[in-house]
Amino acid sequence: MSNAKLPDEPAPRMSEHRAADAMVAEIEQDIVTGKLANGSPLPPERDLMGRFGISRTVVREAIATLTTRGLLESKPRYRPIVRSPGYDAAFSAVGGVVMHLLKQNNGVKTLYDVRIFLEASLVRHAALHARKDDIVALREALERNHAAIHDPVEFDNTDVAFHAVFYAIPGNPVFPAVHRAFVSWLFEHWQSMNRSVEQNLIYYAGHKAIFDAIIDRDPEAAEKALLSHLGEAWETVRGTF
């Protein structure tokens, strides 16, 4: 809430100053300007403390800050890796909180409902605005899904991939990122359930119904099919937590 401090010049404010801010700001610049290439490791902490004239304590704090901002990716014993900010980074930053939210009352259902709402809008959008290549992508995804009906693992993958197409159609990079976030948050909750072939057939039928409605350019039917499909899916997994 009140911690939205923009990286502005610290001229007027003073008491709000943190020693790590200087390094954070500069490294931030180096990353967005490409001076620090994406994927490259951050210089050693001992170098940084020399470069900025700060103690290692502060260097490490700065690194922590940059990590939470998604500009660095740091693993336990390794050098932090530079990451240019992206939409996926944004969502992965919330992973920690979301885990708690999912555990509390109706947390999973609440998030699943959001997914339903969004995806219903997306299929409606697809029915209205999907272009030829979008349709092709959908058809191919559907066929791959059909071909994997007897392969539990692959069916899940093609299932996710089919839905992913809808998130890609608007052409806005936020939606695919949202989808990946949904998958990573929700899927693992019922990942272990053993799908039967009959189950897969039902799911595939759901996908097919959505696809057909898209072909027919019928947003109402598409939305209805999607709602039905996701409703079924929920019923089969609601007991797994």
Partner DNA sequence: TATTATTTTTGGTACGACCAAACTTTGTAA
Partner DNA sequence: TTACAAAGTTTGGTCGTACCAAAAATAATA
Our measurement of the distance from residue 55's CA atom to the centroid of its chain's CA atoms, rounded to an integer in Å, reads: 36
What is the secondary structure of 171-196 as a DSSP string? --THHHHHHHHHIIIIIHHHTTS---
172 contact choice in a copy of itself, DNA, none (CB below 5 to 8 Å, kind-dependent): a copy of itself
Q: Smallest Cα–Cα separation from 48: which of 38, 37, 62?
A: 62
When asked if residue 61 is in the footprint of a copy of itself (CB under 8 A), the reply is yes
- Name which position in 38, 40, 57, 240 contacts DNA (CB under 7 A): 57
For residue 136, give the 3-state DSSP assignment. Answer: helix
Of residues 87 and 151, the one with the C-beta less far from a copy of itself: 87
Our measurement of the distance from residue 145's CA atom to the centroid of its chain's CA atoms, rounded to an integer in Å, reads: 22
- Which residues 58-117 are close enough to bind DNA by CB under 7 A? 58, 60-61, 74, 76-79
Q: Smallest Cα–Cα separation from 138: which of 30, 194, 216?
A: 216
- Name which position in 7, 34, 41, 53 contacts a copy of itself (CB under 8 A): 7
- Which residues 34-53 are close enough to bind DNA by CB under 7 A? 42, 44-47, 53
DSSP state of 44: P
- Name which position in 100, 153, 235, 239 contacts a copy of itself (CB under 8 A): 100
Phi, psi of 73 (to 5 degrees): -125, 110
Residues that bind a copy of itself (CB under 8 A): 1-4, 6-7, 15-16, 18, 28, 32, 57, 60-61, 64, 68-71, 73, 75-77, 85-101, 103-104, 110-111, 113-114, 117-118, 120-121, 125, 170, 172-175, 184
